[in-house]
Amino acid sequence: MVCLVANSEESPTPAADPSRPWLQLAPDYERARAKEDSLDRLVEWPAQRELLGDVAGRSVLDVGCGNGGKLAELVRDGATASVGVDISGNFLSAPPPGLELIQGDLSELDSVPGLAGRTFDRILFLQSFGYAKDPVRTLQAARAMLTDDGFILLTRTQPIRYAVERSERNGTSLGEEYFSTDEFSYRSGWNDDIILTKRAYTISDLINEFSAAGLWIETALEPQLPAEARRRYPHKQEWMNKHLGILIFKLRPRPGH
């Protein structure tokens, strides 16, 4: 994934580091996520919580944790010895006891200071996995940090969303865009001065990355708005009808891999 920074209407200038725009984007993202009608609040976080199950007594590593707010909630619900890692360093000013927040790069997960020799019961990649320079290497590093009965919870945007947007913009078909391997760019909805450029991916690309890292999919989910939220926020249902939402995977190490 490559991110570009846009200067108003001028052509976007490629950022040297794909994750760099997050140094600027992080506070805008957290503001958007906190809104009452954000899809993260209405759909994504409730579904992620449900798949995580009871976290009491479990250690959690949240990779690409944003400000650490989700992990803080898990720690308040009983998670122990938990660590959040994010490149932005835009962290909560007063994390609860039992939560450590570290500025680090998920592409170098195996050498993040503070993670050496540690293991975790749950490892989260919530909308952050796409920033890995070498996705298989990052997943392998996470796999090596799992406890015996541990699992990884990983979410990614449904790639059909991007194919829909590109087919509308380019006057092409859904299939042409979904199977295109070209990079594409779009203005971030959280700050329209920032343009994100991503490498196209398909669902089979994701599954093959999990497999190459020695993981198997125990559960996959495509969470949708609950009925009450559909009635209350019809504009969000309209967005979901067109863009589908996110994919969530619960991944476990393949024995003997």
Beta-strand ranges (E) seen in the chain are: 2-5, 13-14, 59-63, 80-86, 99-103, 120-126, 146-157, 183-187, 194-199, 215-221, 246-253
Does 19 help bind ligand SAM (rule: CB under 6 A)?
Answer: yes
List all residues 6 or more positions away from 138 whose beta carbon is below 8 Å from its beta carbon. Answer: 63, 106, 107, 109, 129, 132
Does 191 help bind ligand SAM (rule: CB under 6 A)?
Answer: no
Instruction: Show the CA angle centred on residue 12, arms to residues 64 and 164, nearest 5°.
Output: 70
**Binding segment (CB under 6 A) for ligand SAM, from list 52-60, 124-132, 159-167, 175-183:** 124-132
What's 110's DSSP letter? G
Of 106 and 240, the one with the shorter C-beta distance to ligand SAM is 106
Q: Nearest approach, Cβ of 83 to ligand SAM (angstroms)?
A: 12
Does 33 help bind ligand SAM (rule: CB under 6 A)?
Answer: yes
Q: Interface residues for ligand SAM in 69-98 (CB under 6 A)? A: 70, 85-88
Locate 204 and state its tokens: 């089979």
Of 22 and 178, the one with the shorter C-beta distance to ligand SAM is 22
Size of the site for ligand SAM (CB under 6 A): 21
* Whether the Cβ atoms of residue 134 and residue 105 lie closer than 8 Å to each other: no
Locate 169 and state its tokens: 């913009």
Does 128 help bind ligand SAM (rule: CB under 6 A)?
Answer: yes
Does 178 help bind ligand SAM (rule: CB under 6 A)?
Answer: no
Binding residue for ligand SAM, selected from 43, 51, 64, 101, defined by CB under 6 A: 64
Binding residues for ligand SAM, rule: CB under 6 A, are: 19, 22, 26, 29, 33, 40, 64-66, 70, 85-88, 105-107, 126-128, 131
